[in-house]
Structure 1
Amino acid sequence: MSVGYLTSDLLSPVRHGFFTRRGGASSGVFAGLNCALSSSDQGDAVRINRARVAAAMGVAPEGLATVPQVHSADVIVVERGGAAAGSADAMVSSVPGVALGILTADCMPILLADDEAGVVGAAHAGWKGALGGVIENTVEAMVGRGAERLRIRAAIGPAISQAAYEVGPEMLEDFMVEDPEAVRYFAQGKGDRLMFDLVGFGLDRLRAAGVEAEWIGRCTYREPDTFFSYRRATHRLEADYGRLISVVRLN
């Protein structure tokens, strides 16, 4: 079975893919294309999966760059493929042949490109990273490599939708400290629970940074056959969960 991935017309003609869980070598709760070496999945299966992703993006396995992700606002500039030193939650590159890979399982995978300038970016944005500024920092890093804000296009891949993202009132308090108008991203749930619009928050942050952006409209939680989901795995009391990979590269 070939690997499956989704694309955004907004990023065309830049080569990219929001990979699903289909077409991988992993089994059990990781069944399919789990690309996280940090998971408890078999390492050989994960390496096979990552090699299939690299091939689909037209690069050698060593041309796929990833970085340990820690829900930060940190961005690194990537000059070559492979595992990056240190940790961060976003990468930018202006080197042809290098593919940037971000892992997610409900958080937003954001792929960005200024095709004219030859600069691409990839960000892992959960609520902590997005609130902390990882989106703005990624755009700034791209501008630092020669991109222009008005030319940058961004697409948010499969992520948890508001209807599936229940949070506590303390999270609203965290947001209100940063932005008194953040209440617009929260809808009332059951009891004191709230439903958070992570994607809406991400889109607004991208647009406020001067970037044209879209969400591809797919919820990780609602499509178990297609996407991994940390929250769904938690609700099912599963011991671990797979991670999706989203990749962008210069042509």
Structure 2
Amino acid sequence: MMLESLLLSTVPGIRHAFFTRAGGVSAGIYAGLNGGLGSNDDPDKVQENRQRMAAALAVAPDKLLTLYQVHSPDVVVVDRPWDTAARPKADAMVTKVPGVALGVTTADCGPVLFVDPTAKVIGAAHAGWKGALTGVLESTLDAMETLGASRDGVIAAIGPMIRQRNYEVGLDFISRFEEADVDNARFFASASRHGHAMFDLAGYIHARLQKAGVLMVDDLDLCTYADEASFYSYRRSTHRKEPDYGRHVHAIVLDG
């Protein structure tokens, strides 16, 4: 049902989970633990799945928070829970409030969980290619620092996402990254199709974190596209021309 980062697991006073699709009640193309409020799955089943995730994190269901994600660099500082119908439009959250689980939803994009063990500040970011390129990781660290964190003391964990061997992109995509920084060419490998390349999103996220000053980064090195039994995948569903896809929730919470 849930995976953990070895690095984050060594930190006292927090709980975290990268949830797989195992252990849920959804059926059909959503089979398993679909936590996507924006999916077309039966809302009652999504709520049951989210309640199971909240229980695994030892928080009340209304304290497992997720955002209306828009592939932005925007971050919310959380000081209290909100109603899911009024969730903010952003792609990352930070808090120092115990007992509030910060969750991001993904189905190929990169989930990144953060903690400063000394300052007791946590964060969670949804880092797809657009959010990573436009600075969602750095924005998360900036927001954590406003709460007293120090980025050189932050531990970050990169969860399951689509990996380079399954992430084929076109020339426009490549150009966008190389125009931002010529050094970004190192995150692209040759593809079988002319004019295409294979993009290393996880490597790019890791490099951005290191450049931002994060010294401790753990990568679970798991591919959502390749492992259908364990993970939902937007791109896999698109290739199969399925009408929708499930979403994972990945979350972190301070004890309290």
TM over 0.5: yes
The alignment partner of 1:100 has SS state of: strand
The corresponding residue for 1:8 is: 5
Could you list the structure 1 runs, at least 4 aligned residues long, displaced by more than 4 angstroms after superposition.
Answer: none
The corresponding residue for 1:139 is: 141
The corresponding residue for 1:105 is: 107
Q: Which residues in structure 2 correspond to 1:91-240 (within 5 Å)?
A: 91-190=93-192, 191-211=194-214, 212-240=216-244
Q: Deviations over 1:51-97 (max 9, x none)?
A: 00000000000111111000000000111224364300000010000
Give the TM-score normalised by structure 1: 0.97
Q: Deviations over 1:108-148 (max 9, x none)?
A: 00000012211000000000000000000001100111011
1:176 and 1:156 mapped to 2: Cα distance? Answer: 23
Unaligned segments of structure 1, at least 5 residues: none
Q: CA offset at residue 11 of structure 1?
A: 1.1
The corresponding residue for 1:40 is: 40
2:152 and 2:47 mapped to 1: Cα distance? Answer: 37
Q: How many pairs align?
A: 248
1:221 and 1:57 mapped to 2: Cα distance? Answer: 26
The alignment partner of 1:155 has SS state of: strand
The alignment partner of 1:181 has SS state of: helix
2:145 and 2:180 mapped to 1: Cα distance? Answer: 25
**Is the CA contact 1:77–1:92 (under 8 Å) kept in the aligned structure 2?**
yes
The alignment partner of 2:7 has SS state of: helix
Give the TM-score normalised by structure 2: 0.95
Q: Which residue type is aligned with residue 203 of structure 2?
A: G
The corresponding residue for 2:61 is: 61
Q: Which residue type is aligned with residue 107 of structure 2?
A: A
